[in-house]
Amino acid sequence: MKHAALPFAVAATALAIACALTSASPATAAAPKQKAITCPFLKEGRVTFDIPPKLGALPAAIDFDYPAKATEFSFRDGNLFLLAMDEAEPTRVRIMISAQRDKTGAYAGQIFVDMGGNQLMLHNGLVRCTVGPG
């Protein structure tokens, strides 16, 4: 009877190995794709930035007409807020977005941008931001 249990032991071992090979460990699992937020304004204006991977972190880079650095950012509980200052003049506000998630999953709210070079060129209006692949 010792040999009758052998096929069961082989099958159980094979099943355990198959399960171990098909379940990826955190170290070998594919990293989640970075997501980005895009906020078009006016006819051709656009602000795009990545969603930071950690809660409380700031977007690393902002795609805008002028170099801007995020100083405040919140993206939780259906709310989006971004405040970014000019990189050369840290007291000059370049971008401010405040929006709430709507029924479609987009974020609708207000945007304030300074698109001027040496002079102020301000725009304040409605914005509809979307979340997509980065």
Q: What is the pLDDT along the chain (134 residues), one digit of tens a residue?
A: 455 554 544 444 444 444 444 444 444 445 567 899 999 999 889 999 999 999 899 999 999 999 999 999 999 999 999 999 999 999 999 999 999 999 999 999 999 999 998 888 999 999 999 999 87
83, 93 in Cβ contact below 8 A?
A: yes
- pTM exceeds 0.85 for this model: no
Q: Long-range contacts: 109-112, Cβ < 8 Å, 24+?
A: 109/80, 111/39, 111/41, 111/47
Sign of the dihedral defined by the CA atoms of residues 101, 106, 109, 115, in that order: positive
